[in-house]
Amino acid sequence: MPDPATTPLPDTDRLRARADACLRRCGAVPGPDAGDLVARTPITGGVLRRLASSTPEQVTEAVGAAHRAFGVWRTTPAPVRGALVKRLGELLAEHHEDLAELITLEAGKIRTEARGEVQEMVDVCDFAVGLSRQLYGRTMPSERPGHRLSESWHPLGVVGVVSAFNFPAAVWSWNTAIALVCGDAVVWKPSELTPLTSMACAALLSEAAADVGAPTDVHRLVLGHRAVGEVLVADPRVALVSATGSVRMGREIGPRVAARFGRCLLELGGNNAVIVTPSADPDLAVRGIVFAAAGTAGQRCTTLRRVIVHEDIADVLVERLIRAYAELGIGDPFAETTLVGPLIRAASGEAMAAALDRARADGGDVLVGGERVPRPEAPDAVYVRPAIVRMPGQTEIVREETFAPILYLLTYRTFDQAIALNNGVPHGLSSGVFTRDHREAERFLAADGSDCGIANVNIGTSGAEIGGAFGGEKETGGGRESGSDAWRAYMRRATNTINYSDELPLAQGVDFG
């Protein structure tokens, strides 16, 4: 098998041609190759295309168009709205390879992960279509005779979706498929690092709308940097802002939306851990740890960043992890033998190097990795070897999220100590425990166990299924997307009291004469 680290990278011109071909097949007309928004490929660091950012006026117009479309869409029967999402799912499946190719080109994901992201979009469309017939309310017993008490759910309005580069398509689909069947309109501001993938997805949704006769403006795409998102977030016609990104971003968006009494659904950072107990299946633990820590080059919000292992088995686990890391193929994400692709940009590599320096200063021992993998033919690309760092304790750098493949290893003596370490960070997204002790598993899932929105047993921290609600607590933002009852965030609730009697009794026995 060829070593991806030594296999030549593809030429940027060829990658550019592949991107343009994918866009055209998806129905996205690239337009002039000019503008202030530069779409680069992390594979080589080269430019794929230049685009024009949306102006503030264009963002305002997009919100207005979506708001007008919402006036029609909200009264469209939910199962009919589901037909739009069903058609979208069919088109996503038809263009599976084109979308996966764009994700690899723009985000640097290896092929299997890129294909998995597209499959996730297809799956969430299936889920949403079923949901379009299950937007259930409740009937509650009334304390007044001849009265019926119930609740109903209604479309919320325009949903502004702000997504990140690491899942340039799936996170959009989680929000958009659910919002559309709930009767909302959507305005999408994708990451400025992955505009081409978003153009392809938006074009397919426009085609789906035309095919089923849905309002074209029920979904609008706006492109650009921070200023574009600021206009979207500030618009009072945007009822819900669903934003995925850093904690810093969430701190800015949350207060702005709250100031105008809008709603926020925030999916922010994660500093995720797994506990490895003495009873754990070692093969299962190593496999789960390596994928969760090194997958997507450590650039997932659910990436495993901390392993908390019992001190009696720490040395054995470390030895096995080092052997596994030595086998990770690093290089061109299109190559079948590659398991770790590039970091998204130079700043990510710099952040990783700075974090490792701080870890060493805190007494950490870098056991493997951390160095840059040189690619003379692509000096602007950033390839690194995933690092494992044994730490003497949970220092400040360990408590921070570094969006790169650094895995900190900590030890514990009692299970209470392990849970305290798991919970001892500002984030609360994903977590896991590897154990064959039923009591440890149950304790981890209990109210005094993991404080994260996702708590797993004998599985890593990444790779959530769409059927469960996705999201986390604390500085992760508290939002929930995708499955379960996450649809409620995209709707408003009305409590209804119907009096079918000839009397007018008041609640709580109040007598008003």
**Two structure tokens written together for 82:** 């589901």
Question: Rounded to 5 degrees, what are φ and ψ at 222?
Answer: -125, 140
For residues 406 and 389, give the distance between their C-alpha atoms in angstroms, rounded to a whole number.
7
Active site residue 301: yes
In the sheet where 406-412 sits, what is the strand order?
365-368, 387-390, 406-412, 304-310, 272-276, 430-434, 454-457
Query: Helices marked H in 235-307 — which ranges?
Result: 247-259, 282-294
For the chain, helix, strand, coil in percent to 5 are: 40, 20, 40
Residue 434 dihedral angles phi and psi, to the nearest 5°: -105, 115
E-assigned strand segments in 281-386: 304-310, 365-368
Distances from the Cα of 397 to the Cαs of 245, 274, 360, 424, in angstroms?
Answer: 20, 18, 10, 13
Exactly one of 101, 106, 267, 481 is catalytic; name it.
267
Query: DSSP for 124-190?
Result: HHHHHHHHTT-----EE--SSTTEEEEEEEEE--EEEEE--SSSTTHHHHHHHHHHHHTT-EEEEE-
C-alpha gyration radius of the chain: 24
The DSSP result for 470-494, as a single string, is: E--EETT-S--EESTTGGGGGEEEE
Please provide residue 202's backbone torsions phi and psi, each rounded to the nearest 5 degrees.
-65, -35
- Taking the C-alpha atoms of residue 112 and residue 259, their distance in angstroms, rounded to an integer, is 42
Non-local (6+) Cβ contacts of 135 within 8 A are 78, 153, 181, 182, 487, 491
Q: Which two tokens stand for residue 162?
A: 């702000």
The one catalytic residue among 22, 26, 264, 301: 301
Q: Judge whether 197 and 164 are in contact, CB under 8 Å.
A: no
Q: Give me the residue label for tokens 């981890």.
A: 444
Task: Please state, in angstroms and rounded to a whole number, the distance separating the CA atoms of residues 340 and 331.
Answer: 7
- Quickly tell me which residue has 């026995």 as its tokens: 509
Report whether 403 contacts 299 (CB < 8 A). yes
Closest CA to 50 of 65, 62, 33, 73: 33
Distance CA 423, CA 289 (A): 18
Three-state DSSP state, 384? strand
Contact 199, 221 (CB under 8 A): yes
- Catalytic residues, which ones? 267, 301
